[in-house]
Structure 1
Amino acid sequence: MVQIENTYFELGNSSTRNCLIICDRGVMDASAYISKDKWEKMMAGNKWNPVEMRDNRYNQILHLVSAANGAEDFYSTENRKRHYQDHACRSEGVDLARELDYKSAAAWVGHPYFDVIDNSTNFEAKMNRMIESVCQKVGIDIGDRLQATSRKLKYLVALLPPDSEFPPFQDFDVVHHYLQSAGPKVQARLRKRGQKSHWSYIHTQRRPNVHGQARIEVKTQLTHRDYMNLLAQRDDAHFTIYKKRRCFLINNQYFQLDIYKEPGHPRCKGLVLLETYSSLTGEALKNCMPKFLNIVKEVTGDPDYSMFNLSLKEDWSTTKKFCRSATHGKQDQQLPEPPKQYHPYDENSD
């Protein structure tokens, strides 16, 4: 499978046109079907490591939750055509399929762009959510054609529990550098993310609104050499941001827990933020949240918890670079006056 993928990757790299390569399965999926010892032996024998084979090899992971988990009425193992589908290649019963589905999803926990497409909608809407997710990552403006309702959510967390209370997780060291930008409406940053001295590097640029789209965000995977060269463009108005990022999956929902580390501005000391994407609301959303975490409040769109603002060296009350969010209004707290230098995209999605 690796060699087949490599062949297609090489063809894509040699193409003079934009090319999107979709893999039905990825390398890490194999770990769901063999023992941990065998998988680790295979990794060691091929000199693989998770950062290279999971994070750097694929730009995005989409896990389409099996019908065995949430749409059982549409799960069939019979080798004949029913009124809704034909699955001649499916052999697992519902319970085993559900278990393997969870293991397959867990194999990708830790990838920086991992989206779980669950069965909370009908199949057509499920496919639209998948397409919308891909379009968003590659920067294609789809307008409202797919009626996507998934949104990014951010929560303030206090008093972290011991590691034993978490489901299986992956921890990463993350370093962010803001870069000097071409104009006041463009924001650029670098991200270094890794485990056990294996790193991936991403350059993110956010651009002004185009054709009414709320945000244009272009992410480019970098080599170590490119990353080091771009560091020369660091913006001295910002601190470097250091985090420990913990990724885990629970209730078919993918979460990232950012634990801010020193050195940094005193405003970041002890700060812990939980992030996820969801189309759920109300009780449905509340029920899927991690019960073992002490969630203080939702801070989605709150400029006080924007990484751009958190990294500013100047005091918020005097700086002209403070970025106010258009999606969050505080009625009980006085915010600084709107800055003359306007940065429209203050949410942190890296």
Structure 2
Amino acid sequence: MLQIEDTFFELGRTCKRDCLIICDRGAMDASAFVTKERWDEIMKENCWNSVELRDNRYNQIIHMVTAAKGAEEFYSTEDHNCRSENVDLARELDSRAAASWVGHPYFDVIDNSTDFEDKIRRMIGSVCHKIGIDTGDRLLKNARKHKFLVEGPLPEDSVFPPFQDFEVVHNYLQSNSPNQVRLRKRGQKGHYSYIHTVRRQNTPGGQVIEVKTQIGHRDYINLLTQKDIAHFTIYKRRRCFIHNNQYFQLDMYEQPSHPRCKGLILLETYSAVDDEQLQQTLPPFLNIKKEVTGNPDYSMYNLSLREDWKTSKKFCRSIIGPETQPNESGENYYQKDRNETSGHAQTQACKTNGYNNKEVMKPTINGKI
């Protein structure tokens, strides 16, 4: 399978036009159908590691949740030559397949909360959103990023569903205001992936656009020479897991950092459901204090500032749209709902290779529709 993928990846690199390569299943899926011990043996025999095989090989992972979870009346083995599992086994295999991809930095779970046509639209919209294709309102499902403040200490690891932990290091680079440029190093067991991100503000329509580019270790080291000394380096331990068909990232800030980051724990997820429904999907084993989506006090850019926020001219009060304004008490407030602002966030993700700077996007779509 990897050789077949590599053939198409190479064809994509030599293509004179931008191209999108979609893989039905991917390398990590095999781990869902063998024991952990056997998978570890396969990885060792082939000199593979999870960061390269899972995180660096594919730009995006989309897990299509089986109809056996939430749409049981539509699950059938009839007219499916390759499908023989009953509902219970289908659910188990689906959970194992999803767990095999936990940890990928761009992992989207498409569940059965809508009808089939909308499920397909959400999947297509997720891909378009990631590669920066403007679809207008044709595929819009109001998915947005949510951030929550979590109070420690965290429960024992055994309380969590299957998870992956990563070392994450962020550095902000010198840039022309109001744009923000940062580097991210992310990995585990000595293997890392590197992302260069440019956050563009004041774009037409008030949009905030993030352009993410996967880079190699040498480019990462070279770009670090442009580090902005006005910011601390941010160190995190990131835990990725799935709960209630929702993909979560739990960021635990680590030292050295500014004292304001000491003990800070933030939970992030993307969702299109309303606040009441979202509350029901949040992990009950975490002590979630409040939602801080859009609150500038919990922006990583502001958290990394060396200067005191009260006197700093670099403190960014506009996180998800127009400038926040002081309320009657003189404190800054923020707008929680992105739909209430003049813009919305968009993300572009591409992998640039050495062939005429062509962009080859390689998502893998995983699971039964």
For the criterion TM > 0.5, the same-fold answer is yes
Task: Please name the residue that 1:49 is paired with.
Answer: 49
3-state SS of 2:128 partner: helix
Match of 1:212, SS?
helix
SS at match of 1:107: helix
Whichever residue aligns with residue 289 of structure 1, its letter is L
Match of 1:147 among 121, 140, 153: 140
Matched ranges for 1:165-314 at <5 A:
165-181=159-175, 183-212=176-205, 214-314=207-307
| Structure 2 residue aligned with 1:83 | none
SS in 1 for 2:51: helix
Q: Which moved further from structure 2: 203-212 or 221-230? A: 203-212
Q: 1:94 to 1:209 in 2, by over 3 A?
A: farther
How many Å apart are 1:277 and its aligned residue?
Answer: 0.6
Give the match for residue 88 of structure 1: 81
Q: 1:1-59 CA distances to partner (integer Å, 9 max, x unpaired)?
A: 01001111111112222111110010000111111121111111111110110011101
> Which of 111, 124, 132 is the matching residue for 2:117?
124
Structure 1 residues not aligned, in runs of 5+: 80-86, 339-343
User: Cα offset for 1:346?
Assistant: 10
The one-letter amino acid of 2:210's match is E
1:162 aligns with 2:156: yes
Residue 184 of structure 1 aligns to which amino acid in structure 2? S
Distance in 1 separating the partners of 2:329 and 2:170: 28
Partner AA of 2:228 in structure 1: D
Q: Tell me how far apart the structure 1 counterparts of residues 108 and 199 of structure 2 sit (CA, whole Å).
A: 21
**C-alpha distance in 2 between matches for 1:336 and 1:121:** 38
Q: Structure 2: 5+ residue runs without aligned partners?
A: 335-342, 350-369
Q: Secondary structure at the match of 1:6?
A: helix
Distance 1:100 1:140 in 2: 33
Q: Aligned to 1:318, which of 303, 307, 311?
A: 311
Task: Provide the identity percentage.
Answer: 65
User: Does the Cα contact within 8 Å between 1:204 and 1:217 map onto a contact in 2?
Assistant: yes
Q: 1:346 to 1:315 in 2, by over 3 A?
A: farther
CA deviations 1:222-271 (Å, max 9, x no partner) are 11001001111111111100000001111111100000001111110100
SS of 2:313's equivalent? coil
Q: Report how far residue 143 of structure 1 moved.
A: 2.2
Q: Classify 1:126/1:337 alpha carbon distance in 2 versus 1 (closer, same or farther; 3 Å).
A: closer
Corresponding residue SS for 2:301 = helix
The amino acid across from 1:167 in the alignment is: P
Amino acid at match of 2:11: L
Match of 1:82 in 2: none
The equivalent of 2:361 in structure 1 is none
Structure 1 length as normaliser, TM-score?
Answer: 0.91
Name the counterpart of 1:75: 75
> Aligned letter for 2:168?
V
Asked whether the equivalents of residues 247 and 256 of structure 1 are also in contact (C-alpha less than 8 Å), the reply is yes
Greater shift after overlay, 262-271 or 32-41? 32-41
Q: Residue 62 of structure 1 corresponds to which residue in structure 2?
A: 62
Corresponding residue for 2:359? none
Per-residue deviation at 1:177?
0.5
Could you tell me how far 1:219 is from its partner in structure 2? 0.8
Give the TM-score of the pair, scaled to structure 2: 0.86
RMSD: 2.4
1:175 is matched by which residue type in structure 2? V
Q: Give the Cα–Cα distance (whole angstroms) in 1 for the partners of residues 275 and 300 of structure 2.
A: 27
- Name the CA shift for 1:145/1:347 in 2 (closer, same or farther; >3 Å): closer
